[in-house]
Amino acid sequence: METAGEAVRVLYVGDRRGTGDFAEYVGDEDAFTVTRVDDAATALDRLESETFDCVVGDVADGFGLLDAVRDRWPDLPYVFVASEGDDVASEALERGATDYLQRRGDCDQRALFVTRVESAVVRRTADGLVGTLVTQESADDDYARIATELRENETYLRKLYRIASNTELSYEQKRRRLLELGRERLDVDVGFVSHIEGDTFEIVDAVGSHELLQPDRTAPLAETYCRKTTEDEGLLSVEDAESEGWLGDPAYETYGLGCYVGAKIFVNDALYGTLCFADRDPRDRSFSENEKIYVELISQWLRYEYEQIADERALREQNRRLEEFASVVSHDLRNPLNVARIYLSMAEDSGSEEDFEQVRCAHDRMEQLIQNLLMLARQGDALAGVTDHDLSAVVAETWENVETDDATCQVEDGVTVEADRERLQQLLENLFRNSIDHGGEAVTIRVGPLDGVDGFYVEDDGPGVPEDQRESVFEHGYSTVDGGTGLGLAIVRRIADAHDWTVSVGESDSGGARFEVEF
């Protein structure tokens, strides 16, 4: 953003070394020119001699600097940065801070911090507009309305930050309270958060009485106002749907909303969904810039929180994988290594070929374990690209890569699978190897479509999986075959999960194992 065609001039005051410098965040933005100083005294000297559009106070004595700036420059936008763990939002805002941010060491706050600086300057612009109206229309009702709106804006901003910084509330509780607050701020009946996946629109959370705008309700995206929100560059606002050409639109026919304002929510730079406020009745005036900024601030907070949740989930998954790897290294690899050592010692004494063969088998098992581990470590749940594939063609190609001995494979045509081809091949290869390992060299494997649902099966005529073990076969380390790695079917489940498929095991007509993959 820019003011009067020039870059926004930011004075950044920071004396907390080793905690990450927010000045770098703003300095990376083309719309900002940043001057950095290390202490309050230097900052006050620079303010006396130069003009700035915003001050960022990131110092240990935060209130001392804030009070000094407010004494001399009461209208200058000021962003107060608090240390991690210091919950002083209310006091900072009451003492005159325009905006507030608390440091958090467990996340990247770049986008949120830039938004805080932007919103502080935008609100200064709005204050300037009021000053112009005072001069030109001091007796006009518009001034009274705008002045009242600005006072309301300050009140609701303080409420927003109190909710967002309340550590005693869960994320879901905060989200619900912010939806209620936004509905109150905009004087509308409905507030909701949506998740958009492809062409499907799903309401994640909602407040208000509209029967179709409730949590867990889904609809085609094409029949919602949110399709327009995702297409527009900024917010989408509709003050009077009938007069603005929405009659006959499927969204208006379905929901009957007379007014609407919606913002996009991004998570890690990918569209997650929308934040929206609406009412059946039209508004008698347009949504103001301050009202739109308020909606944007809530959407930015939602983005920030969603990203933290995603990061925490990824960290938990990473820790789980590390535990798996540690288990394999400490236990699964140790067993064949000990076997190899024992038989190598025996072979050195006896010279027996059978003893050397046991050493080779132990080494082969270790190699297979290492290959499976490397595949999990390098690829995890990542999908390179999901496209449509003819299952019979993928089966034929996979079969060539498996040591099949005298085993045979029969596959039905006409099954199309939307998948990452390489990961689909890995899934099939592991199922084929499982059948051969358990069913013997002459096992017969069949592949075909599921009845009544989208998906496919892979079954064999081997001994099958005992019913009391079917829930365990997909667990890491579980194997019923001597020398098995216990990772093959765990990898099958991970690949299925990455595609949002479900995989289960039952019994084939011949009494063998039947694995079903349902889309």
pLDDT reading at 3 higher than 80 = no
Mean per-residue pLDDT over the chain, rounded: 83
Q: Across the strands, what pairs with 216?
A: none
Q: Which H or E run includes 448?
A: strand 444-449
Mean pLDDT lowest among 62-76, 149-163, 250-264: 149-163
pLDDT reading at 145 higher than 50 = yes
Report the pLDDT value the prediction gives residue 166, as an integer from 0 to 100.
Answer: 80
pLDDT reading at 159 higher than 80 = yes
* pLDDT grade for 373, boundaries at 50, 70 and 90: low
pLDDT reading at 379 higher than 80 = no
- Cα separation, 196 vs 210, whole angstroms: 20
Mean pLDDT lowest among 28-42, 362-376, 405-419, 500-514: 362-376
Q: Which H or E run includes 191?
A: strand 190-197
Report the pLDDT value the prediction gives residue 430, as an integer from 0 to 100.
Answer: 86
pLDDT reading at 485 higher than 60 = no
pLDDT tens for 172-202 read 999 999 999 999 999 999 999 999 999 999 9
Write down the residue that tokens 């110092």 correspond to.
59
Helix (H, G, I), strand (E, B) or coil at 30: coil
Give 469's DSSP letter. Answer: G
Go through the domains of the chain in sequence order and give each one's CATH number: 1-168 (3.40.50.2300), 171-177+186-304 (3.30.450.40), 383-519 (3.30.565.10)
Mean pLDDT lowest among 52-56, 117-121, 171-175, 311-315: 117-121
- Cα separation, 82 vs 109, whole angstroms: 13
Task: Look at strands 200-207 and 190-197 and give their pairing.
Answer: antiparallel
Task: Look at strands 6-14 and 32-37 and give their pairing.
Answer: parallel
How many residues are given for the chain? 519
Report the pLDDT value the prediction gives residue 517, as an integer from 0 to 100.
Answer: 97
pLDDT tens for 294-317 read 898 899 889 888 888 888 887 887
How is 108-134 classified by DSSP, letter by letter? --HHHHHHHHHHHHHHHHHHHHHHHHH
Report the pLDDT value the prediction gives residue 4, as an integer from 0 to 100.
Answer: 41
Provide mean pLDDT across the span 153-171: 80
- Cα separation, 22 vs 109, whole angstroms: 9
Provide mean pLDDT across the span 117-141: 53
pLDDT reading at 488 higher than 50 = yes
pLDDT reading at 248 higher than 80 = yes
Identify whether the C-beta of residue 67 lies closer than 8 Å to the C-beta of residue 92: no
Q: Give percent of the chain with pLDDT exceeding 70.
A: 81
How is 357-414 classified by DSSP, letter by letter? HHHHHHHHHHHHHHHHHHHHHHHTT--S--EEEEHHHHHHHHHTTS--TT-EEEE-S-
Task: Look at strands 259-267 and 236-238 and give their pairing.
Answer: antiparallel
Identify whether the C-beta of residue 120 lies closer than 8 Å to the C-beta of residue 99: yes
Rg of the chain (C-alpha set) = 31
Provide mean pLDDT across the span 78-97: 85
Write down the residue that tokens 């889904």 correspond to.
218
The tokens for 166 are 């309340």
Nearest to 221 by CA among 248, 201, 244: 201
Report the pLDDT value the prediction gives residue 124, as an integer from 0 to 100.
Answer: 59
